[in-house]
Amino acid sequence: MFRPAERTKNYNYAIRNIVAAAKAVEAEGRSVTYLNIGDPVLYGLQPPASLMEAMARAVREGHNGYAPSVGTVAAREAIVRDAEARGVYLSPDDVVVSSGASEAADMLLSALLEPGDDVLTPCPTYPLYTAITAKLGARENYYRLDPAQGWTPDPDDIRAKITPRTRAIVIINPNNPCGSVYDARLLMELLTIAEEHQLVVIADEVYCRLTYGPPPPPMAQLAAGMDVPVVTLESLSKSHLVPGWRVGWMTYTNTQRFGDVIAATRKIAEARICSPLPTQQVLPTALADQQHLPGLIEAMKLRATITVELLNAIPGVNCVAPQAAFYVMGQVEDLKGQTDEAFVLALLRATGVLFVHGSGFGLNPHDGYFRIVFLPPPDTLREVYAKLANFIRQR
Ligand SMILES: Cc1ncc(COP(=O)(O)O)c(C=O)c1O
């Protein structure tokens, strides 16, 4: 037998790993409602027509070659204009276009971390970050999001967790998996901690266009004038309903002491050649025409309202109302001695409904959390919550 590398042992991504169990249920001839992955296209949502047309045109007009490693000038200028409209002032040199925000996170952390370093990571987390740190021989250093405070972080907890090897803090706002949105005061406190301890701020703002109320200020805007590098990650995957196009980017702010890391990230970007050119061609159209967003947000808000009402109506189940995106972290208060994963798998086998267990996002397996992606149409969601209620009643 060939032996896989040690570092893959801790390399997990529960959102997709759990699909094997769902496939086994389907192999028995039963249908599964997949509420595990945040892919709007799976649930019938389609990108704006203007965007699909721009993509087809890009391919037809011959934009099928390699692109510059950091992205085309036109794509980076479009990102600069979009940031400027939100009070963040950049130059195209501060932008790297990537294959989704995922690749940007991978390139940045690969350029930054030595084995043994740690990264302050929210718990629950989006598991991309723990997977990357595991791959690099670094480690996640969890700070807690508190459900009693609407799943927001506690600055004192973060301060207490900092070690001599802490290099960066990941801040996911708006948040996946919890749907929370942090306000400007809290964000300023987090920036101050990062400045004091010389940490790189990794601001994952993939959901910044999908808040039900006013969006929070971008981290890069709040950090203006501070001595703290902020790397912002964004993508079109969710806001423009094109996760399969793999188009994202990172931007650098407050780069005065960050030039060497930027140069190292650029070397990594060059080795992987480039992100897909047709999607880069489409970026200016996508960022200039966002008329679909109010309708999309209304649809998500409706699903969030149904979800919160029906989950909290089930005896022994609770959730905090999300304020953005399409995720909620539910909790079953009595696991009856099971782990959260065993609960989610039993629910799947009994009802054909697939959630992801909270421990897949770093939570304690005995705390009873599970994440739901509430993207399907309202009627499907009502059926799902009726099945969940039934399952819990009959346990
Ligand atoms: C918080 C967060 N960050 C990053 C990503 C990665 O998105 P992409 O690589 O499609 O841009 C996701 C996808 O679900 C996410 O939820």
Q: The domain that contains 216 carries what CATH number?
A: 3.40.640.10
Q: Ligand 1 centroid to 52 CA: how many Å?
A: 21
Q: Give dist(CA 100, CA 126) in Å, integer.
A: 14
Task: Judge if 41 and 119 occupy the same domain.
Answer: no
Q: How confident is the model over 282-299, as pLDDT tens digits?
A: 999 999 989 999 999 999
Q: Using the 8-state DSSP alphabet, how is residue 78 labeled?
A: H
**283 and 322 part of one domain:** no
Q: Are residues 126 and 223 in the same domain?
A: yes
Position 10 pLDDT exceeds 80: no
CA of 232 to the centre of ligand 1 (A): 12
> Tokens at residue 350, please?
């009994």
* pLDDT value at 17 more than 90: no
Among 39, 126, 170, name the best residue to mutate to test ligand 1's pocket (greatest count of ligand atoms within 8 A of Cβ): 126
Question: Which pLDDT value is given to residue 267?
Answer: 97
> Could you identify the atom of ligand 1 that is nearest to the CA of residue 104?
9
Query: Do 266 and 301 reside in the same domain of the chain?
Result: no
pLDDT value of position 46: 93
Q: Residues 284, 74: contact at Cβ < 8 Å?
A: yes
pLDDT at residue 13 tops 80: no
Q: What pLDDT score does 12 carry?
A: 74
Nearest ligand 1 atom to the CA of 327 is: 16
Place of tokens 């780069």: 255
Same structural domain, 117 and 25: no
- 324 and 265 housed in the same domain: no
1, exposed or middle or buried, with CB in 10 Å at 0-12, 13-18, 19+? exposed
Among 32-41, 197-206, 267-276, 323-332, which stretch is predicted with the lowest mean pLDDT?
A: 32-41
Contact 297, 288 (CB under 8 A): no
Query: Is 196's pLDDT higher than 80?
Result: yes
Which of the four pLDDT bands, split at 50, 70 and 90, describes residue 84? very high
Please indicate, yes or no, whether residues 179 and 35 belong to a single structural domain of this protein: no
**Which pLDDT belongs to residue 15?**
80
Average pLDDT over residues 244-271: 97
Which residue type is seen at 337? G
Kindly state the helix (H) or strand (E) to which residue 390 belongs, with its residue range. Answer: helix 378-394
Distance CA 228, CA 216 (A): 19
Is residue 53 included in any domain, yes or no? no
Report the 3 state secondary structure along 221-243: HHCCCCCCCEEEEEECCCCCCCH
* Smallest CA separation from ligand 1 atom 13, residue: 38
Q: For residue 129, how far is its CA from the centre of ligand 1 (angstroms)?
A: 10
> Which residues are near ligand 1 (CB < 6 Å)?
38, 100-102, 126, 128, 172, 176, 204, 206, 235, 237, 243, 248
The yes-or-no verdict on residue 7 having pLDDT over 90 is: no
* Residue 11 confidence (pLDDT) above 80: no
Share of the chain above pLDDT 70, in %: 100
- Both tokens of 207, joined, read 């959901």
Q: Are residues 222 and 316 in the same domain?
A: no
**In angstroms, rounded to a whole number, what is the distance separating the alpha carbons of residues 279 and 55?**
7
Question: Is there a domain that residue 59 lies in?
Answer: no
195 pLDDT exceeds 80? yes
Q: Which domain holds residue 142?
A: 65-288
To 5 degrees, how large is the angle CA 157–CA 149–CA 312?
A: 140
107 with 35, same domain?
A: no
- Cα(48) to ligand 1 centroid in Å equals 20
60 is a domain residue: no
Write down the mean pLDDT value for the chain: 96
Q: What is the pLDDT of residues 134-149, one digit of tens each?
A: 999 999 999 999 999 9
Residue 82 has a pLDDT of 98
Does 326 lie in the same domain as 255?
no
The CA 244 to ligand 1 mean position distance, Å, reads 12
pLDDT digits (tens, 9 = 90+) for 31-70: 999 999 988 888 989 999 999 999 999 999 999 999 999 9
